[in-house]
Amino acid sequence: MSGASASEYYKKLIGETLNGNYRIERMIGSGGMGAVFQATHLALGNSVAVKVLAPELASDMSLVKRFQREARVGGNLMHPNIVRVQDFGKTDEGILFMVMEFIDGETLAGKLTKNGRLSLEETIVIVEALCDALTTAHKNNLLHRDLKPANILIGKLNGREVVKLLDFGIVKLLQPDEHQSQLTAVGQVFGTPLYMAPEHLMGLTLTPQADLYSLAVMTYEMLTGALPADQEDLRKLLEQKMKGTASVTTHVADLPPALDEVFAKGLASNPESRYATANDFLQAVKDARKPDTAKLRAKEFSERATQPIEPQPAPEKASGGFFGFLKRLFGGK
Ligand code: 3AM
């Protein structure tokens, strides 16, 4: 089905009631995977968001499974900062849909397009919510793998300001089981390159540090309105990410200088050099606001620098797979 006929199909859904319960009111947005509508839950009389799988994808079993998995993860991860999936169904006509809580607001992508960048305090509120959500996902052995501003909703729910993480469509279990490996072929890369960790771009095994890298990219973008690596060409983008040089103060001079150190670690090319947890990253961003903490860290650093150097394990041994891959990729550089 072409783009034009898909949009015709979505238009026709307006006014329809899915499975006798969800009356479609208006389309909020559409993309490659399908469209999202505001609907009324007729039994309860409240607004819900209904995501419909694109009709041309309904015969692709791997995408149907992915859609089902997104619904299952969103239905089971109960967290105030993760969009809750309330129902999943198929109509007699074969339309696959999932029902979510409706957030009256906009995506972080939309907010950044409108505002350019956000203040440090505003950024911290959003990062705190995302860190909370990621901590829960990671504790449940789930990686999001597609963190980007278009997957963050900011708005009102029952009159309260909320920040919610959306779209666990390409979520991955940390310990892949047989079922999982059928869904994501080895080395297959899903996600959005600009926000992806280098090891993700390379199709390597991922750890929670891949999500933490994407979180650092989004935080950098919120603070500066720019991306730390922005090359269009994939290979060049990867090279840029591998260099790992990303200063926020060169973009916005009045940000605390200690933030540059935070991003050096948050966007480190080697996943093992990044923050251990989402909360460690959040704490570092918060600490950077206090000049005393930043000074203390600088003092510790200079004290360490004057101490005798302990013999270190060979880098190959410390993280052979990652460096070995890089050597092959960049010809030993
Ligand atoms: O196209 P825009 O950015 O206006 O915010 C999401 C996006 O809007 C919105 O649907 C569009 C396509 O993803 N959306 C997704 N889930 C939503 C939800 N649970 C939602 N809007 C409200 N509540």
Q: Which two tokens stand for residue 2?
A: 């072409």
The residues that are catalytic are 146
142 CB near ligand 1 (under 6 Å): no
- Name the residue type at position 221: E
Give the number of other Cβ atoms within 10 Å of residue 185's Cβ.
9
Cα separation, 167 vs 190, whole angstroms: 13
- State residue 142's pLDDT score: 87
pLDDT digits 0-9 by tens, 142-196: 888 889 999 999 998 888 899 999 887 665 555 444 333 333 333 344 568 999 9
With pLDDT > 70 as the criterion, what percentage of the chain qualifies? 79
SS3 163: strand
In ligand 1, which atom is closest to the CA atom of 83? 19
pTM: 0.81
Tell me the domains of the chain and their CATH numbers.
Answer: 3-101 (3.30.200.20), 104-329 (1.10.510.10)
pLDDT digits 0-9 by tens, 283-293: 999 999 986 66
pLDDT digits 0-9 by tens, 296-321: 665 665 665 555 444 444 433 334 44
166 CB near ligand 1 (under 6 Å): yes
The answer, yes or no, to whether residue 104 has pLDDT greater than 50, is: yes
Q: To which residue do tokens 């394990």 refer?
A: 313
- Name the residue type at position 72: R
Of 23-37, 156-170, 176-190, 254-268, the poorest mean pLDDT is in: 176-190
- State residue 74's pLDDT score: 79
Cα separation, 255 vs 12, whole angstroms: 49
Among candidates 37, 157, 136, 153, which has minimal Cα distance to 95? 37
Q: Which two tokens stand for residue 135?
A: 């901590």
Q: Residue 45 Cα, ligand 1 centroid: separation in angstroms? A: 20
- State residue 93's pLDDT score: 86
Helix 208-224 / helix 120-139 crossing angle, nearest 10 deg: 170
Segment 199-210 shows an average pLDDT of 92
